[in-house]
Amino acid sequence: MKKLFPGLLKKKGITLLLPIAVLGCAAPAYNANTGQVAVRPASVGLIQQGEAAFARYKKKTPVSRNSAARARVHRVANQLRPVINLPGARWEFEVFEDSSANAFALPGGKVGINTGLLNIAVTDGQLAAALAHEMAHVTSNHAQARVRNNQVIAVGGAILGAVLGSSESGKEMGEIAQKGGQIAFGLTFSRTQELEADRVGTIFMARAGFDPADAITLWERMGAQNRSTTPEFLSTHPVSATRIQKLREFLPTARAQQR
């Protein structure tokens, strides 16, 4: 991924210069007792940061001119949007000309999809799984959760963390490091956010008329493409096998939300 925040991203990897901190988990976004999804609007300041970052990224990264790809993304996004009521959100979906199978979300409802991901998410249902996952990061306010749980992280760093925590790329995403270069800081929290976005995303899919089982198919295809050798305990993203297992366990709950 190209530089989104100057000085923080490197060309062939991503290094966050953040101090070590112990992160606590926020209350789950999905309530198993009520079947309700908690929607947590971001602060005005964080939304502004997200919008500014997205605008900068669009200036630096080629936007896809493939009309069919763009129409497909917007068709699926428009089917998902009515089931998501997020106060203050100004949803925007952009397709970037990038061969990596990647996507990201920023506070305020800014979602980026790489053309490389469209080669893996070959059906509308699989694409809905990717988009709903990113939208779930926004509705769960994962970026602001990081700020609350680690006040020493700057807002810009938290937004970047949200980007890293919302996608699984064929490229190595780099490491989250202490200023001194040591590995460690809230990796489990990031994985928890990822799995939560998976669950909430399948609920959004079901409510919008998609089959949440397509999320499982998407991650099976992602796993076949991304043979990372990074041990799961050192990764900010759960490996595909873990995600698939958790999605299968949650599938009956998600399907019960179909309307």
What is the mean predicted confidence (pLDDT) over 46-63?
92
pLDDT at 3: 36
Chain centroid to Cα 187, Å, comes to: 15
175 is catalytic: no
pLDDT at 39: 83
Q: Return the domain boundaries, the chain.
A: 42-255
Instruction: Report d(CA 162, CA 30) in Å as an integer.
Output: 19
User: Among 100-109, 145-154, 180-189, where is mean pLDDT lowest?
Assistant: 180-189
Structure-model confidence comparison of residues 254 and 233, the more confident one: 254
**Res. 2 pLDDT band, cuts 50 70 90:** very low
Helices 124-139, 213-225: crossing angle, 10 deg rounding: 100
What is the mean predicted confidence (pLDDT) over 10-33?
45
Structure-model confidence comparison of residues 181 and 114, the more confident one: 114
pLDDT at 88: 81
Strand order, beta sheet including 92-96: 92-96, 110-114, 103-106
Averaged pLDDT of the chain: 75
pLDDT at 228: 56
Tokens for 124?
Answer: 């509308």
User: Among 3-7, 128-132, 222-226, where is mean pLDDT lowest?
Assistant: 3-7
Residue 19 has pLDDT above 70, yes or no: no
Q: Which of 51, 92, 97, 134 is catalytic?
A: 134
What percent of the chain has pLDDT above 70?
65
- Residues recorded for the chain: 259
Question: In this predicted model, what pLDDT tens digit does every residue of 191-238 receive, in sequence order?
Answer: 788 889 999 999 999 999 999 999 999 999 988 876 655 554 444 566
pLDDT at 192: 83
Residue 26 has pLDDT above 70, yes or no: no
**Res. 190 pLDDT band, cuts 50 70 90:** confident
pTM of the model: 0.74
Question: In this predicted model, what pLDDT tens digit does every residue of 65-80 receive, in sequence order?
Answer: 999 999 999 999 999 9
